[in-house]
A and B are shown apart, each in its own frame.
Chain A
Amino acid sequence: DSGVTQTPKHLITATGQRVTLRCSPRSGDLSVYWYQQSLDQGLQFLIQYYNGEERAKGNILERFSAQQFPDLHSELNLSSLELGDSALYFCASSVGASNEKLFFGSGTQLSVL
């Protein structure tokens, strides 16, 4: 158990809908990262938050947004969903801001039908 909690584990929705994925980092970790894993693209970095502030941005679509709350949990919002958004979404956390040792959650499997 990494200590990172992601909910829900599975999510099935339809095209055009909006969903919210939730992540609780390990106790004491200030950074939260979001990654997307699909069969054709592998693990892709989406975005990082550190202590409530956006720290780094990767290949995150404009339809996607994230935030980190004062209690350090994070949410990833995916809107106007398309079939191609179906993937595993992982959250990871680390103590500091510099991408040292990351602890990953078990992921949310999103299926867009």
Chain B
Amino acid sequence: DAKTTQPNSMESNEEEPVHLPCNHSTISGTDYIHWYRQLPSQGPEYVIHGLTSNVNNRMASLAIAEDRKSSTLILHRATLRDAAVYYCTSRGSARQLTFGSGTQLTVLP
């Protein structure tokens, strides 16, 4: 199974950019990189996904390394509502999305 490695926790100040890293050195060449986040007392929420090129949407940007062994989720201006656990996902043996332990993001006012 592909594995992901993320820092356990990160802090950011409100209104500042946040860069959340993920290592996925065993990812298959054809597997997309998906990011989800889980707000307190809610189910995981899709954030963004990409294959090789950098991707942007209204929530975030995804920067993917050229060798695809790592990626960075970028929140351009963190708000208090962005405090959540952020998951970089991989594929399991049954091709299902596998969630690691994620990064707990704390946003300071």
Contacts and interface: CB of A to CB of B under 8 A. Distances in A.
A56 B99 CA distance: 16
Interface in A38-68: 42-43, 45, 48, 56-58
Contact of B43 (A48, A57, A107): A107
26 contacts: A2-B45, A42-B102, A43-B44, A43-B87, A45-B96, A45-B97, A48-B94, A56-B95, A56-B96, A57-B94, A58-B94, A58-B96, A92-B43, A98-B95, A99-B96, A99-B97, A100-B32, A101-B46, A102-B36, A103-B46, A104-B43, A104-B45, A106-B42, A106-B43, A107-B42, A107-B43
Interface in B59-104: 87, 91-92, 94-102
A98 B31 CA distance: 11
Given A45-B98, A56-B94, 9 more contacts: A4-B43, A43-B44, A43-B99, A57-B94, A92-B43, A99-B96, A104-B43, A104-B45, A106-B42
